[in-house]
Structure 1
Amino acid sequence: MCGRYAASRGPEDLAGIFEVEKWDVAETLEADWNVAPTKDVYAVLDRPLRGSDDTRPVRQLRVMRWGLVPGWAKSPEMGVKMINARAETVHEKSSYRRPFASRRCLLPADGYYEWVTPPQQVPGAEDPKPKRGRRQPYFVTPADGGVMAMAGLYEFWRDRTLPGEHPRAWWVTCTVITTEAETTPLAGDTGEGGPASLAEIHPRMPLVLTPDRWDAWLDPGRDDPEEIRELLVPPPPGSVRAYPVPSTVSDVRNNGPELVTELSGPEEATLF
């Protein structure tokens, strides 16, 4: 799955990378090294401009809330449980079927975090209960230092308790599409005793799209589910590296570039 990621690039940088034609300065977000569900995030999408008679899709950088709320939902609270959508079934599920057909986006990231739980310690005669170590966070990031473009979906939700002109009457929310984690060797060194593949870190991973698939993925005119599913192909093996980072990232209240500091190896486990 993907439950936490880092996104430090500013709108000017993202506009250049994704060839964005329109973004609102008023929606500028601060760099965030600990993006968590329900936070506002940047999303790249192709869609006609709001309030324009021109129906031509325009490449935009928009701010959305992470955690998709289906249009039919009675409240936005269910978005907390819908931060990820499985690539294998995203075209079938009622919550994702419609946005998969026409409301697809890219969610830019520096990389994402996953936690590895050490194996249980073998109990001794004096302590018969098995013990486990503290979970070690790893940061997964493009091996070339570039942007990670996670495939996503977005949706609009209308809060019927508010008048239409209210600034919070409409919510725009999103989700990250995930797939099975790669079993191929990671690029670089994960430290002594570190995982050899993404699958050893977590069985799922965000589905990252390479630049040659961006335009087709974002095209709202492409609405054949089977044709769209063909785009959901992970990047080539060795495209990402993973390394251990400070456990302070586990607390969402912590935020700063120090959270992605590369450690020489897993932090010393504290048994409890």
Structure 2
Amino acid sequence: MVGRFALTASPDHVASRFALAAIDAFPPRPLILPTQPVMVVLAGSEGRAEAFRPGRAALLVRWGLIPGWFRGEEQLPALFNARAETVHDNAAFRGALRHRRCLVPASAIFRRIEPAQDRAAATPKRRQAGGVRRLTIGEAPVFAIAGLMETYLAPDGSEIDTAALLTAPAQEADRAVVDRLPVVIAPQDFDRWLDCRGYGPGDIADLLAAPPLAAFTLSDMD
């Protein structure tokens, strides 16, 4: 599970990386937690049937996807992450995977990374408390996590835009130290991932994998 990340890149860096014609100013966010607002990037009318304007757009949504069919009036689902290996068959995510794929700008993610011998010997309580590292991608001020977006119609008639981050099992060589990592979409694959009109779930299946841990730069949390 990916339960926290950061977006400290400037609005100009985000706009440049994601080819956004316009973006609202926002402050650095060194720690973003589930249920808080997160930025997502969506395709325009050329990539989504429900979009009215062409070109990519940035939107603030609730981190924690609420399926469109959910009708509960009490506790909302805590769908912060979607598992890449089961997302095609999961009723909570199936529609979003087909029609509302998005990119989630991030400057860093936070994951527990431990040497294999320490991981094996650690108690569950120690694992929860220690070993958390900050993962960035080289010198890049911002990269893209694969996301899924859903708009939920609340019982009071209000609409809530929500999203989940996609995660995948770590590559085999990395599983001794980390179990899962986010699905990171490379810039050359942005168009294919966002174009829900031209590319169905089968056409983007090859993107649903975690990068090697070596792709990240690891540092201690401040």
Name the TM-score class by shorter chain: 0.7 to 0.9
CA contact under 8 A between 1:209 and 1:233: conserved in structure 2? no
What residue in structure 2 maps to residue 219 of structure 1? 195
- Aligned match of 1:171: 160
Identity %: 30
State the SS of the aligned residue for 1:144. coil
Residue aligning to 1:180: 169
Give the secondary-structure state (helix, strand or coil) at the position aligned to 2:202: helix
What letter is aligned with 1:177?
L
Find the aligned partners of 2:56 and 2:113 in 1 and give their Cα distance.
37
1:22-75 CA distance string (max 9 Å, x none): 44x3xx4431111000010111110339xxx98554200111110001111124
The total of aligned residue pairs comes to 212
Q: Which residue in 2 is equivalent to 1:96?
A: 93
Query: For residues 219 and 177 of structure 1, what CA distance do their matches in structure 2 show?
Result: 17
2:2 is the alignment partner of 1:2:
yes
Q: Which has the larger radius of gyration?
A: 1
**Residue type of the partner of 1:157?**
Y
Tell me how far 1:121 sits from its aligned partner: 7.2
- The residue correspondences of 1:99-114 to structure 2 (distance < 5 A) are 99-114=96-111
Unaligned runs of 5+ in 2: none
Contact 1:148 1:208 in 2 (8 A): yes
Q: Displacement, 1:89?
A: 1.1
Q: Is the 8 A contact 1:107 1:150 kept in 2?
A: yes
Higher relative contact order (CA 8 A, sep 6+): 2
RMSD across aligned C-alpha pairs, in angstroms?
Answer: 2.8
1:139-162 CA distances to partner (integer Å, 9 max, x unpaired)? Answer: 111023342210000000111314
Change (3 A) 1:147 1:182: farther
TM-score (ref. length: structure 1): 0.69
* 1:159 maps onto 2:159 in alignment: no
TM-score, with length taken from structure 2? 0.83
Comparing 136-145 with 146-155, greater Cα deviation is found at 136-145
Equivalent positions of 1:1-272 (< 5 A) are: 1-23=1-23, 25=24, 28-48=25-45, 55=52, 57-75=54-72, 77-79=75-77, 81-116=78-113, 118=118, 132=126, 134-162=129-157, 169-184=158-173, 197=174, 199-235=175-211, 238-245=214-221, 259=222
- Alpha-carbon distance, 1:242 to partner: 1.5
